[in-house]
């Protein structure tokens, strides 16, 4: 029993501490790496950065990419007030109904609504983007190895193609995209947004901020998970110590 509990404790520590590194090892291109505030066993989300990331998403990304798994009301976890959430939701219109006469109608968004999708269906999305289908970003960080570093690298990886590189029409060169040919043009440019807190809106800053927000979107309960995990590990270590002490006491007469 003691060996089993000790093994479980070690396994939990290993899984929490190095799983990210193993996950990241699958990529062939070496990504940029940032010491994220939410990284590691004790990491938490940078709320100020995530709030700026919401602004970047809404003003830059939302024209092509949806966020269909995230309800406006969950922005409260990032520090948005009830009034701010209502105002953000009300900027989008939603088809609802039927009403008393059996008719569908449009209404302003409410906190329980999810972020709207920019296109009614996949065909419309492809038609508007030269045949490419912009993915929903709700889980994009989880869908890529070393997701936060991948997304940050991708957003800051646009550059001119080498002279000997053949780039098809309508494609852009990105140093961190597989094959380096990407249908999405560079979405970020200097001062593309005007941050309300006065933070300079450099490409690097906007890339970091929207990455923090989308990392939160992919795992909004990460902080609770880490907290529970640490408490479980502490409990198992204490329990292992108690079992060891009991074992020493029980078998002490045989020595």
User: pLDDT digit string (tens) for 106-142?
Assistant: 999 999 999 999 999 999 999 999 899 999 999 999 9
Q: From 129, 137, 116, 143, select the one nearest 210 (Cα to Cα).
A: 137
What pLDDT, on the 0 to 100 scale, is given for residue 200? Answer: 97
Residue 255: pLDDT band (50, 70, 90) is: low
| CA–CA distance, 86 with 72 (Å, rounded to integer) | 8
pLDDT at 6 over 50: no
Global pTM reads 0.82
Class of domain 43-223: mainly alpha
Q: Where are the beta strands (DSSP E) in the chain?
A: 93-96, 105-108, 172-173, 181-182
Judging by beta carbons within 10 Å of its beta carbon (0-12, 13-18, 19+), is residue 16 exposed, middle or buried? middle
pLDDT, mean of residues 187-195:
96
pLDDT at 58 over 70: yes
- The C-alpha angle with vertex 171 and arms to 170 and 172, in degrees rounded to 5, equals 130
pLDDT at 175 over 70: yes
| CA–CA distance, 227 with 242 (Å, rounded to integer) | 23
Both tokens of 181, joined, read 């040919």
Beta-ladder partners of 94: 107
More confident residue, 61 or 3: 61
What pLDDT, on the 0 to 100 scale, is given for residue 75? Answer: 98
């Amino acid at each position: 029993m003691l060996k089993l509990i000790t093994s479980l404790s070690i396994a939990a520590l290993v899984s929490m501490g190095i799983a990210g590194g193993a996950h990241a090892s699958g990529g062939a291109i070496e990504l940029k790496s940032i010491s994220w505030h939410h990284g590691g066993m004790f990491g938490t989300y940078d709320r100020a950065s995530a709030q700026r990331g919401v602004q970047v998403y809404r003003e830059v990304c939302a024209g092509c990419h949806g966020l269909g798994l995230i309800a406006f009301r969950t922005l409260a976890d990032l520090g948005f007030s009830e009034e701010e959430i209502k105002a953000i939701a009300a900027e989008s219109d939603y088809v609802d109904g039927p009403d008393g006469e059996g008719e569908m109608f449009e209404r302003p968004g409410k906190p329980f609504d999810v972020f709207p999708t920019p296109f009614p269906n996949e065909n419309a999305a492809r038609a508007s983007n030269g045949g490419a289908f912009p993915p929903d970003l709700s889980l994009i960080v989880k869908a890529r190895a070393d997701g936060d570093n991948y997304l940050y690298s991708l957003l800051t990886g646009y550059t001119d193609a080498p002279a000997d590189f053949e780039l098809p029409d309508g494609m852009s060169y990105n140093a961190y995209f597989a094959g380096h040919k990407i249908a999405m043009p560079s979405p970020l440019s200097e001062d593309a947004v005007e941050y309300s807190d006065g933070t300079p809106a450099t490409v690097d800053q906007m890339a970091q901020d929207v990455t923090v927000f989308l990392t939160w979107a992919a795992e909004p309960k990460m902080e609770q998970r880490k907290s529970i995990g640490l408490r479980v590990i502490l409990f198992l270590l204490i329990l292992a110590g108690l079992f060891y002490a009991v074992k020493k006491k029980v078998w002490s007469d045989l020595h």
